[in-house]
């Protein structure tokens, strides 16, 4: 026995793997699978498409442009001047109830938050509360890392510097009296951004952490004073700041500004009536042919209104069904030519 | 003597005789006049030492040389350049480590592989260089290593020693300084050759002290690779002696049948003829490799074009929008043009994944795996010698699936080089009549060769009974009519035959009781059953290729004179006496033998009266002294006596083929592979083997070199007449050489090679005979060059090394004695028949797998990379990447490579049994239809399509939307995750569709890849890792935020659906409308097979009859026997009448 082993010392192992005989399934695209498969997938897609489209149609969206391009539009004067905190207001009327919960967005067009260098112009360590990055911001923030007197800018970089700084208040006029609609700014940013990704340095008061630094050039107030009403909404975890810092994927985008606080009259949403939005117009967009919008929308299980996906599902689903018929015909013709 | 020498110098006046060797004078060869410039001022003796060097690197040169070699690969340079680009911060759009880590891994793996290979070469060199030989130093012979031997040294070799260098034979233990050598390593012939020392050295250089005083000066040609030529001159004691190849012992040969011999080293080490014959070790690359390189160039071009386009886009965009967008201000005073320029480089980096570095690593991994499968294949394992198949080069596997031409050595590759006496016909009766499984017991015969196997007991009994006169005469003839030399060794007889055929016949006679005992110059002694007989040999009419027969005229002890003759049936039948019996029956027997591809010889005799012989003998002697055209004169004289012969019978010898050779060749031929046999053998032998291994079939028309010459001349003439037609393009004007659709076969000899490629390639089979190793290589390179075909060479001996190295793929037959062929081969296995499995199964699989792998690999990277391209239109052409950078780093590494790698390793469209059963399935590989530019562009367009879907479906979905909870999900990071997830699903499901052999491993890999993707993504997006590296992992929370939205899942599903459904649809339709080649062939083959099952009708074509008189290259030993040079008076080992009767020292040999 031993001798035999030594005689065939070089004998390869006889296993299914080494002999390439692993048990296997050799699938074939047979007509019996493909054609019914296409029909089923087609029907499923049509179903999804219909559901998406119906849902999307049921969502109410109100979009108001306030760029002020054209003379006569409410904000045209503001858009043409460089005055800080220029005020203008926008009126709109709801004839029916705007089903709640209602979300209040601002929208920018032709705005390239996805530009590479713009996107890289921030210091993640700084935004994570690393104090050493306060004193020497990353060079990726250049030219917004130091001001002209060589003082470090916090938060540094283009994104922070270009933070959207228009502010809005919404009022409703009911039989002559104007009352404010309460806007809720809590939790408009991602939970993870607020709790994990961005962090203030653990210095109290927060102001001290910013000693020796300057605010971004375009900002009116330093980061630690962004929200005077809520101390916890300051620094890098300010909700508006977080929303802005989450770069949009495409040049036309919306960002959540506020939620309509569902209390009192507004429990069910925005009731019918006349509304006014008072705008503090600061953010210049006309230079680059941009546009600014205010959008009210409610959401469904699929989010906001977008008919694209529903239509795409319907088209693809129908195509699947059509193709399954075509395949059936071709298959019949080529496999059973005698019967023709 | 002097006259001769002048004539010699006159003859060689034109030759460059500059190689001077002085015996026993080492310092002489270091003289300044023999120095040559090596490097700048450093000079070295032009005489090489005897150490050989085949390795490439040493300790110091390994790193620089290996890196240099590796950076000759375009891809590596490309990635290096990319790395440098990524280090420049201005344009670094991807972190530098995304390129550096893979590059280092790739270079490292390759370097380690090269190192291991080179170490093996070091070991091999060392082994050879440290072999021992006896060298004459300080007046006595001392043992020395081969590496220490120098030009001018005198060495002593013993029996069975390998010759360490090219030596001038000085003297040997045999009379006349005869020395037998086996040249198998040089030319593959196993029959012995003899070499002879000069008379003067033979006489004067026998003792050690004589050798020590030897101080001749040898002048000869510079080292060259001609194995068949050597001219030189020895100057000794003011006398000049001409030297020829016959005086030389060449390195690589083995001393046989000679107790000892002395030689003077003329060429050493790298100067020896065998080393000069060795082709350079070439870095072999496969067709696919080349194609892949071209495709990589195409991708480069595409990359540059796309990047340039996007850079221009960026320039315009920046001018139109960027300059006005205050928020994009970056403080740099750069013109839009310059920004465009930077963006160009940025895009080169971003889009570099179109040519992923992992492509090369993965290809290497797949090839390595396939090599392992070859090594592991039990069906290519030869149990008898415990030799598994071995893929020695791991980079050529898929080329095995594309072979168009096979060049095979004959001896040892197709045949076992064993001649066996199989059958005979005596007086018209075919023996053996019955086949018994029990071997004949030869114990009754003390001279019997134990290795001889014969299975017909009745014949033995028949012969032993002594009743059958014909049978007795038959074996007597076999024992007498030959030129075999005999040697008595320890009571055993050792026959030295000029050809194995002859050896087989004499051995057969010996075992049947007719033992050839000894010969002298003019007597032969045999033992007829139990009685020793000595015959006087009156004349020996030797074989040559025109005569195709040999005869011997003997005087019997009782005074009768009888001529025995054996030869090819064609020549014998012409010379038979009208009264000869058994003609018809023998004829039938010959046809039977021929049908069994046995080599036949007819045996006959003739009684000659004393007067008749006397008269003939006079004419013979006259002819022997004819000055001009002595050969023709002798032939004419022979002709006069070789007539009116009486037929005794015929022998049938089997040149034993290796197992399964005919089946293998038939199968390979069915796969449209053309097989050429290149052999050093004679035409007849080669043709014979061609028939027996079914390379040549009876329905083929054979064209010999001479007809071919005619055809070629005609072609050239017509070309001259019609020069314009020629210019129109070779292919069109070259009308077929052989009109008609007959199968053709071509047998050509060495000199006729160069112009024949076209013609030869028209033939089903080509046999090249009498080709030298160099010519073998030339044939291969000719076909490679002019036909652009993929070639495979298979051989077993050192004479095949050249062609093995030259061919695209070299295969060595392992388990034989010589290892040189195996050492220089790419694949080695023990039996020729494994070739069909190697090509039709492993080759085919490897090719299909590799093609599938490459097609998919290109696709998956196009689909992946071009998403960035589409995104560019929406981000100001700013070289913003679409995906997370970690995803880009890991995509090819972890998320998409395993399933496709497994397809490259395991996929089987049909199993091995079917691959072998339907050799036609091999043809797509030869035509390269599975991977070419068409497939490449299909992959490209498929990639473009999928990338388009991957970008624009999410784009449409993201354009205006918000999340379920009102937060805007239309941020860049969510977009990246959705696109990446879609891509992962598409790529993994697409490879699932392409997998035709689903094992649990594949299943595991596909599911695993998707799982790994999600696992890694959720990890990278987790809080924990962000806390540790806040600036490296910036996608915190994206996966969890995005992927809880049903809307985004619906987007992913739609994207995946649109990408895959059309592919399934198209595949189904094309499969229905145009069924694959494999399916069609399958059906056709089934029908064909049924047709072929009918047995072929018995054919009695004369053409198929093969003569065994295909003996050796040279004539037999007749001259040697006649000259008596090999016989000496020496103390008798055996008493009795073997005593050499006389020995006339006729030593004119070297004076002729």
Looking only at Cα atoms, what is the longest distance across chain A?
Answer: 110
Mark yes or no for CB contact B1030/A127 under 8 Å: yes
Do A244 and A316 fall into the same domain?
no
The tens digit of pLDDT for each residue in B953-1000 reads 999 988 777 777 777 668 899 999 999 999 999 999 999 999 988 999
Mark yes or no for CB contact B330/A117 under 8 Å: yes
Mark yes or no for CB contact A302/B1050 under 8 Å: yes
- The closest CB to that of B1057, out of A287, A301, A316, belongs to A316
List C-alpha distances in Å: B697 to B597, B743, B963: 11, 9, 78
Q: Is A312 touching B (CB cutoff 8 A)? A: yes
What does the DSSP 8-state code read for residue B162?
B
Q: Does the pLDDT at position B274 exceed 70?
A: yes
d(CA B225, CA B227) in angstroms, rounded, equals 6
Q: Does the pLDDT at position B1109 exceed 80?
A: no
B1132 is in an annotated binding site: no
- Catalytic positions of B: 409
Query: In which region does residue B694 sit, left (phi positive, over 0), alpha (psi from -120 to 50) or beta (all else)?
Result: left
SS3 (DSSP) at B649: strand
pLDDT of residue B865: 93
Region B609-630: mean pLDDT is 83
Q: Which residue of B has its CA nearest to A316?
A: B1058
Do A88 and A165 fall into the same domain?
yes
pLDDT of residue B116: 84
User: Considering its fold, how many domains does chain A have in total?
Assistant: 2
pLDDT of residue B440: 56
Do A49 and A191 fall into the same domain?
no
> Binning pLDDT at 50, 70 and 90, where does residue B1093 land?
very low
Residues 249-308 of A with CB under 8 A from B: 249-256, 259, 284, 287-289, 297, 299-306, 308
Q: Which residue of A has its CA nearest to B1032?
A: A124
List C-alpha distances in Å: A126 to A99, A133, A227, B554: 41, 5, 20, 113
Answer yes or no: is A5 within a domain: no
Q: Does the pLDDT at position B462 exceed 80?
A: no
Q: Which residue of A has its CA nearest to B1054?
A: A313
- The closest CB to that of A288, out of B321, B972, B1030, belongs to B321
- The closest CB to that of A330, out of B961, B962, B1073, belongs to B1073
Structure tokens at B318: 């920046």
pLDDT of residue B278: 62
Region B304-327: mean pLDDT is 91
Q: Does the pLDDT at position B862 exceed 80?
A: yes
Contact residues for B543 (Cβ-Cβ < 8 A; gap 6+) = B483, B549, B550, B567, B1109, B1111, B1115, B1116, B1118
Answer yes or no: is A13 within a domain: no
Q: Does the pLDDT at position B1057 exceed 70?
A: yes
d(CA B321, CA B344) in angstroms, rounded, equals 18
Mark yes or no for CB contact B346/A116 under 8 Å: yes
Per the listing, tokens 């090596």 go with B38
Answer yes or no: is A147 within a domain: yes
Mark yes or no for CB contact B961/A128 under 8 Å: no
> Which chain B residues are closer than 8 Å to A146 by Cβ?
none
Q: Which residue of B has its CA nearest to A303?
A: B964
Looking only at Cα atoms, what is the longest distance across chain B?
Answer: 129
d(CA B795, CA B415) in angstroms, rounded, equals 11
Mark yes or no for CB contact A197/B1034 under 8 Å: yes
Mark yes or no for CB contact A249/B1027 under 8 Å: no
* DSSP annotation string for B882-931: SS-HHHHHHIIIIISHHHHHHHHHH--SS-HHHHHH-GGGGHHHHHT-SS
> Which chain A residues are closer than 8 Å to B331 by Cβ?
142-143
Dihedral sign from CA coordinates of B85, B89, B93, B94:
positive
B542 is in an annotated binding site: no
Contact residues for A265 (Cβ-Cβ < 8 A; gap 6+) = A172, A271
> Which chain B residues are closer than 8 Å to A38 by Cβ?
1061, 1064-1065
For B135-140, which contacts have Cβ atoms below 8 Å and span 24 or more sequence positions? Answer: B136/B24, B136/B208, B136/B211, B136/B212, B139/B208, B139/B209, B139/B212, B140/B208, B140/B212
Q: Which residue has the higher pLDDT, B419 or B234?
A: B234
Do A119 and A184 fall into the same domain?
yes
B1146 is in an annotated binding site: no
pLDDT of residue B12: 41
Q: Is A240 touching B (CB cutoff 8 A)? A: no
Do A233 and A322 fall into the same domain?
no
How many CB atoms neighbour CB B95 within 10 A? 14
**Among residues B265, B250, B241, which one has the least CA distance to residue B1150?**
B241
Do A157 and A41 fall into the same domain?
no
Do A86 and A44 fall into the same domain?
no
Q: Which residue has the higher pLDDT, B758 or B533?
A: B533
How far is B441 from chain A, CA to nearest CA, in Å? 29
> Which chain A residues are closer than 8 Å to B972 by Cβ?
113-114, 119, 247-249
The rounded percent of chain B whose pLDDT value lies above 70 is: 80
Q: Which residue of B has its CA nearest to A287?
A: B324
pLDDT of residue A325: 94
What does the DSSP 8-state code read for residue B387?
B
pLDDT of residue B1095: 43
Answer yes or no: is A8 within a domain: no
CB-CB contact of B185 with B411 (8 Å): no
Mark yes or no for CB contact A193/B329 under 8 Å: no
> Binning pLDDT at 50, 70 and 90, where does residue B373 land?
very high
The tens digit of pLDDT for each residue in B166-186 reads 988 888 887 777 888 877 666
B680 is in an annotated binding site: yes
How far is A240 from chain B, CA to nearest CA, in Å? 12
Contact residues for B943 (Cβ-Cβ < 8 A; gap 6+) = B858, B859, B860, B861, B862, B863, B866
Do A82 and A178 fall into the same domain?
yes
Mark yes or no for CB contact A248/B383 under 8 Å: no
How many CB atoms neighbour CB B460 within 10 A? 21
Q: Does the pLDDT at position B545 exceed 90?
A: no
> Which chain B residues are closer than 8 Å to A246 by Cβ?
968, 971, 973
pTM, two decimals, is 0.79
Q: Are strands B415-426 and B743-749 parallel, antiparallel or unpaired?
A: unpaired
> Most confidently modeled of A215-219, B20-24, B25-29, B287-291?
A215-219
> Binning pLDDT at 50, 70 and 90, where does residue B189 land?
low
> Which chain A residues are closer than 8 Å to B1047 by Cβ?
302-303, 309
Region B322-335: mean pLDDT is 86
SS3 (DSSP) at B675: strand
B566 is in an annotated binding site: yes
Answer yes or no: is A310 within a domain: yes
Residues 84-113 of A with CB under 8 A from B: 101, 103, 105, 110-113
Q: Return the exposure string of A214-224: e unless at least 16 CB atoms fall within 10 Å of the residue's CB, then b.
A: bbbebbeebbb
Length of chain B: 1152
Mark yes or no for CB contact B961/A306 under 8 Å: yes
d(CA B569, CA B587) in angstroms, rounded, equals 9
CB-CB contact of B841 with B389 (8 Å): no
Q: Does the pLDDT at position B8 exceed 50?
A: no
Reported ipTM: 0.95
**Enclosing H/E stretch for B795:** strand B791-795
Answer yes or no: is A217 within a domain: yes
How many CB atoms neighbour CB B863 within 10 A? 25
Burial class (CB in 10 A: 0-12, 13-18, 19+), B1073: exposed
pLDDT of residue B1088: 53
> Binning pLDDT at 50, 70 and 90, where does residue B515 land?
confident
d(CA A181, CA A270) in angstroms, rounded, equals 9
Q: Is A1 touching B (CB cutoff 8 A)? A: no
B411 is in an annotated binding site: yes
Answer yes or no: is A101 within a domain: no
Structure tokens at B591: 């046809």
- The closest CB to that of B880, out of A22, A115, A192, belongs to A115
Q: Are strands B390-391 and B646-657 parallel, antiparallel or unpaired?
A: unpaired
> Which chain A residues are closer than 8 Å to B955 by Cβ?
250
| Residue range of the domain that includes A87 | 68-96+109-252+273-290
> Binning pLDDT at 50, 70 and 90, where does residue B1114 land?
very low
d(CA A66, CA A111) in angstroms, rounded, equals 15
> Most confidently modeled of B152-156, B411-415, B535-539, B855-859?
B855-859
Mark yes or no for CB contact A118/B1036 under 8 Å: no
Do A316 and A285 fall into the same domain?
no
Q: Does the pLDDT at position B821 exceed 90?
A: no
> Which chain B residues are closer than 8 Å to A130 by Cβ?
1030
Answer yes or no: is A2 within a domain: no
Q: Does the pLDDT at position B1098 exceed 70?
A: no
Mark yes or no for CB contact A112/B968 under 8 Å: no
Structure tokens at B703: 């064209």
> Which chain B residues are closer than 8 Å to A250 by Cβ?
874, 955, 958-959, 970, 975
pLDDT of residue B198: 83
- The closest CB to that of A303, out of B329, B1041, B1045, belongs to B1045
pLDDT of residue B347: 92
B770 is in an annotated binding site: yes
> Binning pLDDT at 50, 70 and 90, where does residue B1125 land?
low
Contact residues for B1004 (Cβ-Cβ < 8 A; gap 6+) = none
The rounded percent of chain B whose pLDDT value lies above 90 is: 16
pLDDT of residue B221: 85
Contact residues for B758 (Cβ-Cβ < 8 A; gap 6+) = B734, B737, B786
CB-CB contact of B597 with B1106 (8 Å): yes
Region B103-127: mean pLDDT is 84
- The closest CB to that of A255, out of B373, B968, B1037, belongs to B968
Do A188 and A331 fall into the same domain?
no
* DSSP annotation string for B87-131: HSTTT--S-THHHHHHHHHHHHHHHHHHHHHHHHHHHHHHHHHT-
> Which chain B residues are closer than 8 Å to A113 by Cβ?
972
> Binning pLDDT at 50, 70 and 90, where does residue B1144 land?
very low
Q: Which residue has the higher pLDDT, A252 or B1127?
A: A252
B409 is in an annotated binding site: yes
Q: Which residue of A has its CA nearest to B997?
A: A26
Do A165 and A48 fall into the same domain?
no
Mark yes or no for CB contact B1037/A143 under 8 Å: no
CB-CB contact of B979 with B883 (8 Å): yes
Q: Which residue has the higher pLDDT, B421 or B452?
A: B421
Dihedral sign from CA coordinates of A29, A31, A32, A37:
positive
The tens digit of pLDDT for each residue in B797-808 reads 777 888 888 888
pLDDT of residue B949: 95
pLDDT of residue B1087: 53
pLDDT of residue B968: 65
Mark yes or no for CB contact B997/A243 under 8 Å: no
CB-CB contact of B392 with B820 (8 Å): no
Do A144 and A222 fall into the same domain?
yes
Q: Is A197 touching B (CB cutoff 8 A)? A: yes
pLDDT-flagged residues of chain A (< 70): 1-7, 337-340
> Which chain B residues are closer than 8 Å to A125 by Cβ?
1030-1031
Mark yes or no for CB contact B1026/A196 under 8 Å: yes
Region B656-679: mean pLDDT is 87
Q: Does the pLDDT at position B5 exceed 50?
A: no
For A63-67, B588-592, B660-664, which range has the lowest pLDDT when averaged over its residues? Answer: B588-592
> Binning pLDDT at 50, 70 and 90, where does residue B839 land?
very high
d(CA B397, CA B389) in angstroms, rounded, equals 13
């Amino acid at each position: 026995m031993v001798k035999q082993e030594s005689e065939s010392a070089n004998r390869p192992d006889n296993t299914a793997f080494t002999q390439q005989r692993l048990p296997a399934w050799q699938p074939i695209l047979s007509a019996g699978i493909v054609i019914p498969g296409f029909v089923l997938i087609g029907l499923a897609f049509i179903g999804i498409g219909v559901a998406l489209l119906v849902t999307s149609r049921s969502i109410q969206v109100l979009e108001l442009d306030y760029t002020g391009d054209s003379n006569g539009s409410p904000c045209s004067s503001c858009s043409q001047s460089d005055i800080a905190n220029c005020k203008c207001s926008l009126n709109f009327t709801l004839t029916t109830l705007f089903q709640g919960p209602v979300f209040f967005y601002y929208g920018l067009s032709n705005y390239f938050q996805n530009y590479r260098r713009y996107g890289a112009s921030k210091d993640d360590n700084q935004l994570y509360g690393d104090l050493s990055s306060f004193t020497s911001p990353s060079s990726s923030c250049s030219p917004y890392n130091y001001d002209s007197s060589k003082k470090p800018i916090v938060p540094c970089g283009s994104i922070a510097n270009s933070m959207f700084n228009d502010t809005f208040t919404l009022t409703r006029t009911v039989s002559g009296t104007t009352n404010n609609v309460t806007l809720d700014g809590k939790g408009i940013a991602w939970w993870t951004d607020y709790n994990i990704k961005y962090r203030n340095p653990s210095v109290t008061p927060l102001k001290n952490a910013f000693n020796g630094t300057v605010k971004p050039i375009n900002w009116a107030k330093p980061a630690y004073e962004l929200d005077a009403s809520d101390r916890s909404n300051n620094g890098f975890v300010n909700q508006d700041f977080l929303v802005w810092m989450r770069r949009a994927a495409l040049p036309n985008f919306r960002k959540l500004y506020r939620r309509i606080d569902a209390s009192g009259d507004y429990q069910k949403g925005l009731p019918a009536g006349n509304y006014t939005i008072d705008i503090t117009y600061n953010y210049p967009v006309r230079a680059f042919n941009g546009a600014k919008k205010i959008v009210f929308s409610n959401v469904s299980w699929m989010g906001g209104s977008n008919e694209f996906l529903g239509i795409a599902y319907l088209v693809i689903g129908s195509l699947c069904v059509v193709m399954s018929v075509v395949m059936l015909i071709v298959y019949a013709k080529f496999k059973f030519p005698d019967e023709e | 003597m002097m006259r001769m020498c002048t004539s010699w110098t006159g003859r060689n006046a034109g030759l460059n005789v500059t190689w001077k060797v002085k015996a026993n004078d080492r310092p002489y060869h270091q003289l300044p006049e023999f120095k040559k410039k090596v490097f700048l001022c450093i000079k070295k003796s032009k005489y090489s030492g005897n150490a050989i060097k085949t390795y490439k690197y040493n300790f110091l040169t390994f790193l620089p040389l290996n890196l240099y070699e590796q950076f000759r690969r375009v891809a590596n340079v490309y990635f290096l350049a990319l790395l440098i680009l990524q280090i420049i911060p201005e344009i670094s759009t991807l972190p530098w480590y995304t390129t550096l880590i893979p590059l280092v891994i790739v270079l490292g793996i390759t370097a380690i592989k090269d190192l291991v290979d080179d170490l093996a070469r070091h070991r091999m060199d060392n082994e050879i260089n440290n072999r021992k030989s006896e060298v004459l130093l300080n007046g006595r012979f001392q043992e020395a290593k081969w590496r220490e031997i120098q030009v001018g040294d005198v060495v002593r070799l013993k029996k069975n020693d390998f010759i360490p260098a090219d030596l001038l034979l000085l003297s040997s233990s045999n009379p006349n300084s005869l020395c037998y050598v086996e040249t198998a390593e040089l030319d593959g012939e196993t029959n012995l050759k003899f070499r002879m020392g000069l008379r003067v050295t033979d006489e004067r250089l026998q003792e050690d002290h004589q050798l020590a005083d030897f101080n001749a000066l040898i002048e000869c040609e510079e080292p060259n690779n001609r194995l068949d030529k050597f001219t030189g001159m020895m100057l000794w004691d003011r006398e000049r002696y001409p030297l020829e190849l016959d005086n030389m012992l060449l390195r690589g040969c083995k001393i046989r049948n000679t107790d000892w011999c002395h030689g003077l080293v003329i060429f050493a080490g790298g100067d020896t003829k065998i080393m000069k014959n060795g082709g350079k070790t070439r870095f072999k690359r496969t067709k696919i490799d080349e194609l892949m390189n071209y495709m990589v160039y195409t991708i480069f071009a595409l990359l540059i074009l796309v990047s340039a386009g996007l850079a221009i886009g960026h320039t315009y965009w920046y001018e139109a929008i960027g300059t006005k967008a205050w928020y994009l201000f970056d403080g740099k005073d750069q013109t839009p043009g310059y920004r465009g320029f930077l963006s160009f480089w940025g895009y080169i980096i971003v889009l570099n994944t179109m040519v992923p570095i992992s492509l090369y690593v993965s290809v290497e991994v797949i090839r390595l795996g396939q090599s392992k499968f070859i090594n592991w294949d039990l069906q290519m394992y030869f149990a008898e010698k415990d030799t598994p198949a071995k893929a020695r080069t791991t980079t050529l596997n898929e080329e095995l699936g594309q072979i168009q031409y096979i060049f095979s050595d004959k001896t040892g590759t197709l045949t076992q080089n064993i001649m066996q006496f199989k059958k005979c016909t005596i007086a018209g009766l075919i023996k053996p009549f019955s086949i018994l499984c029990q071997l004949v017991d030869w114990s009754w015969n003390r001279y019997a060769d134990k290795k001889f196997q014969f299975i017909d007991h009745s014949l033995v009994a028949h012969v032993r009974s002594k009743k059958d006169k014909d049978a007795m005469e038959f074996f007597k003839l076999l024992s007498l009519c030959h030129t075999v030399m005999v040697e008595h060794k320890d009571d055993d007889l050792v026959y030295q035959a000029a050809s194995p055929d002859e050896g087989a016949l004499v051995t057969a006679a010996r075992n049947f009781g007719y033992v050839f005992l000894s010969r002298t110059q003019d007597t032969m002694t045999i033992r007829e059953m139990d009685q020793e007989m000595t015959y006087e040999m009156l004349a020996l009419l030797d074989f040559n290729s025109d005569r195709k027969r040999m005869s011997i005229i003997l005087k019997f002890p009782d005074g009768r004179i009888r001529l025995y003759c054996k030869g090819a049936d064609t020549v014998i039948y012409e010379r038979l006496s009208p009264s000869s019996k058994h003609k018809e029956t023998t004829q039938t027997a010959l046809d039977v033998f021929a049908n069994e591809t046995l080599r036949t010889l007819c045996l006959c005799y003739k009684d000659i009266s004393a007067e008749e012989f006397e008269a003939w003998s006079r004419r013979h002697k006259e002819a022997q002294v004819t000055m001009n055209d002595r050969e023709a004169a002798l032939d004419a004289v022979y002709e006069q006596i070789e007539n009116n012969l009486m037929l005794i019978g015929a022998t049938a010898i089997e040149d034993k083929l290796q197992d399964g050779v005919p089946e293998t060749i038939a199968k390979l031929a069915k796969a449209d592979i053309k097989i050429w046999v290149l052999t050093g053998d004679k035409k007849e032998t080669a043709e014979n083997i061609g028939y027996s291994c079914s390379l040549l079939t009876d329905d083929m028309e054979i064209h010999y070199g001479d007809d071919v010459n005619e055809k070629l001349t005609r072609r050239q003439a017509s070309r001259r007449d019609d020069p314009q037609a020629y210019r129109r393009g070779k292919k069109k004007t070259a009308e077929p050489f052989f009109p008609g659709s007959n199968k053709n076969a071509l047998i050509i000899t060495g000199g006729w090679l160069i112009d024949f490629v076209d013609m030869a390639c028209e033939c089903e089979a080509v046999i090249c005979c009498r080709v030298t190793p160099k010519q073998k290589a030339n044939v291969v390179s000719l076909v490679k060059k002019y036909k652009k075909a993929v070639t495979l060479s298979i051989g077993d001996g050192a004479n095949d090394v050249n062609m093995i190295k030259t061919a695209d793929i070299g295969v060595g037959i392992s388990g034989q004695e010589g290892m040189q062929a195996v050492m220089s081969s790419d694949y080695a296995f023990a039996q020729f028949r494994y070739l069909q499995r190697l090509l039709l199964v492993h080759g085919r699989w490897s090719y299909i797998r590799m093609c599938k792998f490459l097609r998919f690999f290109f696709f998956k990277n196009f689909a992946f990379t071009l998403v960035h391209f589409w995104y560019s239109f929406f981000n100001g052409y700013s070289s913003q990447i679409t995906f997370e950078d970690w995803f880009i780093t890991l995509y090819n590494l972890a998320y998409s490579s395993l399933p496709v790698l497994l397809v490259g390793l395991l996929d089987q469209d049909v199993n091995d049994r079917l691959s072998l059963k339907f050799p036609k399935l091999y043809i797509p590989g030869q035509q390269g239809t599975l991977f070419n530019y068409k497939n490449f562009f299909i992959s490209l367009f498929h990639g473009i399509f999928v990338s388009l879907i991957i970008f624009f479906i999410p784009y449409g979905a993201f354009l205006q939307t918000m999340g379920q909870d009102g937060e805007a999900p239309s941020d860049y990071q969510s977009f990246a995750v959705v696109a990446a997830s879609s891509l992962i699903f598409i790529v993994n499901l697409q490879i699932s569709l392409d997998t035709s052999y689903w094992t649990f491993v594949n299943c595991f890999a596909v599911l695993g890849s998707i799982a790994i993707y999600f696992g890694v993504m959720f990890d990278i997006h987790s809080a924990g890792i962000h806390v540790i590296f806040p600036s490296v992992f910036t996608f915190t929370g994206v996966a969890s935020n995005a992927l809880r939205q049903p809307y985004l899942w619906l987007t992913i599903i739609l994207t995946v659906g649109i990408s895959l459904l059309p592919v399934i649809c198209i595949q189904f339709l094309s499969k229905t409308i145009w069924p694959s080649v494999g399916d069609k062939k399958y059906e056709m083959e089934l029908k064909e097979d049924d047709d072929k099952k009918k047995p072929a009708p018995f054919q009695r074509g004369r053409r198929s009859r093969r003569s065994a008189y295909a003996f050796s290259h040279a004539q037999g030993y007749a001259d040697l026997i006649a000259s008596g040079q090999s016989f000496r008076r020496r103390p008798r080992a055996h008493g009795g009448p073997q005593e050499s009767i006389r020995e006339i020292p006729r030593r004119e040999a070297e004076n002729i």
